[in-house]
């Protein structure tokens, strides 16, 4: 017997507390409905005298993870942080999920659950993802307050204009339903919300791709680009490489596809606190168009300098990156952005008089609540109910026992926003039967399809001079030369962020080096010195290769495989095509040239495994997952081949939005979070419009 979960009256229900959910909640919480003007206005414009004319948007967020994971203030938030830190310290393998708890009730995909002994079927028993092959899906995510931004690296490059026009420019995949030029302001806003540090893009910028992505033409005038904070200084190793790529004024060039290509390093924009940029003066707000229900994002000049967002428990801490090299999975300083920072801004507002933070009663979170099914009206498709399982964990003699209650929430009057990751969003919907034997939001039959990730191709070697890895944050610069070009009609582009973690990823260095030396009987001071000498020259290059959408790469469910709450687990079919493989062959050649120029002694080697493949000569190539889980409910202009419209609103269900990286029709070569946040900020316009039409 399912019981009603009484949640009072809500206007918007958001599933998840990750970055998309938090951004959406924060934006909506910043607007109130003016009953006189019949439009939403930013709370900045509301004062004591006109207060009574305004109605807040009542928002409820549902989080599958533990309550402790959504503590947002004071000692509790600090305690959670310390507990994550402690767990990270204790774990043997420092993988992305190691500081966080893989909950029995809300399990997460974990890189440690990846196929062992090359047996996908074997893996299904222990892992959350049911891998159906032929290749394993190699990326993970975490289901906890703040979502996967808790362990992300924080890199926030933009997609490029051509990435939005893949079909019309290169005859591949699909075009985006949004013009790049129209999208730039959402990128600007996303950079503001995430707090991005980067090098300004102006007339002195040499990289043409960056100029196209960042510089805007507004009313015929060229507008250069500033980031909210100044760039994170490049790490020692990046500087050493940059020096070798540029001799005096001459930049190193390389022949690529019959063209000479300049190779240089550019600082990667990243959501990591640094010095506020004095030149940055933007603020953003949504404004209703006259005589229409539509809202537009407006960018205004702001005289107030950008304020750095510190830790949850002390706004003065975490104000600058301290150069800890453990960004993934955990920033001990909390200078790296995570979604809880935004979530806090949704739940707490500054009182205009006392300047104190006050809990905003119109926003609430219910944790330990797993959404597993939606129910829609057969008449107009309105989502009428969502079904949840609420659990409590009990530790009885070291065994975790779950106390579960099955409940539902009436959502006919609400806007339902699924804001989980690109595996969970389709998982919930595919478990929600609708008409004619198909599922909710799946008239196009594209739901759960087009799963994408970046193929990460690693190459490593010894430099001649020490480059001292692990100094500074995880990655501070990149090679952008191969992100776009005519070659994209033949093979995938690839992006080259340089890691600052030595060989940690491919060989588990320096741990493996230590083992090796110990095996050779080296101990004491000699061990310390030798280990130092080995590690200081380790360098890692990596190429992130764009994967095209392929309907056969998909998330499905199978009632055979369920989790502890009897909710179906995601079943993944995944493969890579020759388009991506060819790019990896090309990237190999690029690295060979680069290593030769940089005098790096190549030490890369790959095992024949499930995630490897061979070229004609029989050389083995292997790739890793980038953690960029993208593309299972893509936006589009045509209901027949997309799951939502360009505002992430379902084609069939008038009160359903699907936001998150799943919305992206193609992946490009950039880390997807920034683009996803920009898409979410664009969806907000549509949600405000729907709420206006509903008109209270």
Partner 1 sequence: MRQKLTRITNKLSEEKLNNESFAEPLSVADSIQDMLKEHEVEKSIELKKSFSKTIQIMYDLIISLEEQYQKEGNEDKINRNNFNKIDQINLLWSDILEINPALNIVNKLNYKEQRTLLKCALQYALKIEHSTIPPYLTALYSIKRGSNLVPSRITRSVAIEEMLHLIMVCNVLNSMDMHPDILKEKLVPTYPYHFPFNSENSIVQNEYTSTEIQNIQKNKIIINIEAFSKTSLDTFIRIESPISSMVKPLDQHIKSVKEKYKEVKQKITSPCDNEQCYDEIIFSLPFEKIGEFYEFITVLAFITQLKAKREEKNNQEHMNYEEFCQRGLFSKPNITKQISTEQYYGSGGQLITVEDFHDFLEVILEITGQGEGTNGEMVAPEQAPDQDGLELAHYFRFMEVRHGHYYVGGKYKLVRGMMRVTTRPNGNPLKVDWDQVYPIQKNFKIKDLEKIDHKAGLKSILEEFNFNYFQLINYIQKAISTEEKEEQNNYIHDSIQHMHQMHHQAESIMKIKLNDGKHAAPTWEILPYLN
Residue from 200, 262, 364, 406 in contact with partner 1 (CB under 8 A):
364
Site string for partner 1, 274-313 (x = CB under 8 A): -xx-x----------------------------xxxx--x
* Residue among 356 and 616 whose Cβ is closer to partner 1: 356
Instruction: Find the part of the chain contacting partner 1 (CB under 8 A) among 152-160, 362-370, 419-427, 640-648.
Output: 362-370
Instruction: Find the part of the chain contacting partner 1 (CB under 8 A) among 63-71, 420-428, 581-589, 654-662.
Output: 63-71
Residue from 200, 212, 322, 582 in contact with partner 1 (CB under 8 A):
322
Task: For 463-484, give the secondary structure using H, E and C.
Answer: CCCCCCCCCCCCEEEEECCCCC
Q: Is 683 in the site for partner 1 (CB under 8 A)?
A: no
Where in 375-414 is the site for partner 1 (CB under 8 A)?
390, 392-395
CB 84 → partner 1: shortest distance, Å?
8
Q: In Å, how far from its chain's centre is CA 101?
A: 19
CB 321 → partner 1: shortest distance, Å?
11
Nearest to 81 by CA among 367, 308, 272, 317: 317
Q: Is 86 in the site for partner 1 (CB under 8 A)?
A: yes
CB 320 → partner 1: shortest distance, Å?
6
Residue from 255, 292, 359, 486 in contact with partner 1 (CB under 8 A):
359
Q: In Å, how far from its chain's centre is CA 84?
A: 20
How far apart CA 584 and CA 382 sit, in angstroms, is: 45
How far apart CA 490 and CA 674 sit, in angstroms, is: 27
**How many distinct helices (H) and strands (E) make up the chain?**
14, 36
Residue from 11, 71, 231, 513 in contact with partner 1 (CB under 8 A):
71
Site string for partner 1, 26-55 (x = CB under 8 A): ------------------------------
* Residue among 390 and 684 whose Cβ is closer to partner 1: 390
Buried b / exposed e over 344-382, threshold 16 CB at 10 Å, is bbbbbbeeeeeeeeeebebbbbbbbbbbbbbbbeeeebb
Q: Is 75 in the site for partner 1 (CB under 8 A)?
A: yes
* Residue among 43 and 254 whose Cβ is closer to partner 1: 43
Contacts of residue 635, defined as CB under 8 A and 6 or more positions apart, other chains included, come to 176, 177, 178, 642, 643, 644, 645, 646, 647, 648, 663, 664, 665, 679
Where in 615-654 is the site for partner 1 (CB under 8 A)?
none
* Residue among 313 and 613 whose Cβ is closer to partner 1: 313
Where in 138-157 is the site for partner 1 (CB under 8 A)?
none
Contacts of residue 566, defined as CB under 8 A and 6 or more positions apart, other chains included, come to none
Residue from 53, 78, 283, 377 in contact with partner 1 (CB under 8 A):
78
**Enclosing H/E stretch for 373:** strand 369-376
Residue from 2, 4, 82, 378 in contact with partner 1 (CB under 8 A):
82
* Residue among 84 and 651 whose Cβ is closer to partner 1: 84
Buried b / exposed e over 449-469, threshold 16 CB at 10 Å, is bbbbbbbbbbbbbbbeeebbb
Q: Is 80 in the site for partner 1 (CB under 8 A)?
A: yes
Classify residue 87 by burial, with Cβ atoms within 10 Å: 0-12, 13-18, 19+. Answer: middle
- Phi, psi angle pair for 64, to nearest 5°: -75, -30
Site string for partner 1, 240-279 (x = CB under 8 A): -----------------------------------xx-x-
User: Look-up: residue for tokens 């680009």?
Assistant: 225
Buried b / exposed e over 498-525, threshold 16 CB at 10 Å, is bbbbbbbbbbebbeebbeebeeeeeeee
Site string for partner 1, 154-183 (x = CB under 8 A): ------------------------------
How far apart CA 590 and CA 584 sit, in angstroms, is: 10
Q: Is 424 in the site for partner 1 (CB under 8 A)?
A: no
Q: Which two tokens stand for residue 141?
A: 């995510």
Q: How far is the CA of 653 from the CAs of 9, 431, 463, 696, in angstroms?
A: 20, 16, 57, 20
Contacts of residue 219, defined as CB under 8 A and 6 or more positions apart, other chains included, come to none
Q: In Å, how far from its chain's centre is CA 201?
A: 23
* Residue among 262 and 314 whose Cβ is closer to partner 1: 314
CB 166 → partner 1: shortest distance, Å?
41
Residue from 43, 46, 55, 68 in contact with partner 1 (CB under 8 A):
68
Q: Which two tokens stand for residue 579?
A: 């388009």
- Phi, psi angle pair for 2, to nearest 5°: -85, 135
Q: Is 319 in the site for partner 1 (CB under 8 A)?
A: yes
Instruction: Find the part of the chain contacting partner 1 (CB under 8 A) among 69-77, 286-294, 416-424, 487-495.
Output: 69-77
* Residue among 81 and 185 whose Cβ is closer to partner 1: 81
Residue from 4, 93, 358, 518 in contact with partner 1 (CB under 8 A):
358
* Residue among 317 and 516 whose Cβ is closer to partner 1: 317
Where in 554-613 is the site for partner 1 (CB under 8 A)?
none
Residue from 79, 181, 289, 512 in contact with partner 1 (CB under 8 A):
79
Residue count, binding to partner 1 (CB under 8 A): 52
- Phi, psi angle pair for 40, to nearest 5°: -85, 140
Phi/psi region, residue 308 (left: phi>0; alpha: psi -120 to 50; beta: rest), is: beta
CB 523 → partner 1: shortest distance, Å?
16
CB 75 → partner 1: shortest distance, Å?
5
Buried b / exposed e over 228-253, threshold 16 CB at 10 Å, is bbbbbbbbbbbbbbbebbeeeeeebe
Q: Is 362 in the site for partner 1 (CB under 8 A)?
A: no
Residue from 357, 404, 522, 527 in contact with partner 1 (CB under 8 A):
357
**Where do contacts with partner 1 occur on this chain (CB under 8 A)?**
66-71, 73-75, 78-80, 82-83, 85-87, 101, 275-276, 278, 307-310, 313-317, 319-320, 322, 350-351, 354-359, 364-369, 390, 392-395
């Amino acid at each position: 017997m399912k019981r009603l979960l009484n949640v009072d009256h809500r206007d918007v229900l958001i599933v998840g507390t990750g970055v998309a959910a938090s951004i959406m909640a924060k934006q909506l919480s910043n607007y109130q409905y003016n009953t006189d003007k019949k439009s939403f206005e930013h709370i900045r414009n509301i004062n004591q005298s006109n207060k009574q004319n305004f109605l807040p948007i009542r928002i409820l967020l549902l989080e599958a993870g533990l309550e402790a994971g959504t503590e947002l203030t004071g000692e509790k938030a600090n305690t959670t942080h310390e507990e994550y830190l402690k767990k990270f310290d204790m774990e043997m393998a420092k993988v992305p999920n190691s500081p966080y708890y893989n909950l029995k009730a809300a399990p997460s995909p974990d890189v440690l659950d990846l196929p062992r002994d090359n047996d996908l079927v074997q893996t299904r028993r222990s892992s959350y993802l049911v891998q159906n092959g032929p290749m394993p899906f190699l990326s993970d995510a975490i289901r906890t307050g703040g979502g996967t931004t808790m362990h992300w690296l924080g890199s926030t490059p933009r997609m490029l204009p051509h990435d939005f026009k893949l079909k019309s420019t290169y005859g591949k995949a699909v075009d985006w339903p949004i013009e790049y030029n129209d999208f730039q302001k959402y990128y600007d806003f996303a950079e503001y919300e995430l707090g991005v540090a980067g090098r300004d893009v102006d007339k002195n910028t040499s990289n043409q791709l960056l100029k196209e992505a960042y510089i805007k033409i507004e009313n015929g005038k060229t507008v250069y680009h500033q980031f909210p904070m100044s760039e994170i200084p490049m790490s020692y190793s990046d500087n050493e490489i940059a020096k070798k790529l540029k001799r005096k004024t001459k930049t190193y060039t390389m022949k690529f596809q019959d063209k000479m290509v300049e190779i240089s390093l550019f600082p990667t924009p990243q959501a990591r606190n640094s010095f506020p940029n004095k030149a940055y003066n933007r603020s953003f707000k949504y404004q209703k168009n006259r005589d229409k229900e539509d809202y537009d994002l407006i960018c205004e000049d702001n005289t107030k300098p950008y304020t750095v967002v510190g830790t949850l428990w002390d706004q003065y801490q975490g104000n600058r990156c301290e150069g800890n090299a453990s960004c993934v999975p955990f920033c001990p300083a909390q200078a790296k952005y995570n979604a809880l920072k935004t979530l806090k801004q949704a739940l707490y507002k500054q009182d205009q008089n006392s300047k104190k933070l006050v809990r905003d009663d119109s926003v609430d979170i219910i944790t330990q609540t797993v959404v597993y099914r939606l129910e829609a009206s057969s008449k107009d498709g309105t989502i009428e109910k969502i079904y949840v399982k609420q659990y409590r964990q009990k530790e009885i003699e070291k065994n975790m026992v779950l106390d579960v209650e099955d409940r539902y929430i009436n959502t006919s009057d609400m806007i339902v926003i699924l804001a989980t990751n690109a595996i969970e969003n389709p998982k919930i919907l595919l478990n929600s039967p609708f008409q004619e034997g198909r599922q909710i939001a799946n008239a196009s039959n594209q739901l759960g399809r087009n799963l994408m990730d970046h193929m990460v191709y690693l190459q490593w070697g010894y430099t001649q001079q020490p480059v001292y890895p692990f100094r500074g944050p995880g990655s501070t610069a990149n090679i952008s030369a191969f992100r776009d070009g005519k070659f994209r009609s033949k093979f995938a582009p690839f992006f080259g962020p340089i890691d600052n973690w030595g060989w940690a990823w491919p060989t588990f260095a320096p741990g493996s080096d230590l083992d090796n030396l110990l095996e050779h009987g080296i101990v004491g001071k000699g061990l310390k010195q030798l280990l130092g000498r080995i590690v200081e020259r380790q360098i890692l290059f990596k190429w992130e290769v764009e994967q095209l959408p392929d309907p056969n790469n998909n998330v499905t469910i199978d009632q055979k495989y369920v989790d502890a709450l009897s909710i179906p687990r995601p079943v993944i079919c995944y493969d890579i095509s020759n388009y991506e493989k060819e790019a990896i062959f090309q990237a190999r050649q690029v690295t060979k040239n680069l290593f030769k120029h940089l005098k790096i002694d190549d030490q890369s080697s790959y095992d024949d495994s499930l995630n490897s493949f061979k070229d004609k000569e029989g050389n083995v190539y292997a790739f890793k997952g980038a953690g960029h889980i993208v593309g299972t409910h893509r936006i589009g202009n045509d209901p027949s081949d997309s799951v939502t419209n360009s505002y992430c609103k379902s084609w069939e269900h008038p009160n359903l939005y699907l936001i998150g990286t799943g919305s992206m029709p193609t992946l490009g070569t950039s880390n997807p979070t920034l683009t996803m946040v920009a898409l979410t900020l664009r969806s907000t316009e549509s949600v405000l419009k729907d709420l206006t039409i509903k008109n209270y």
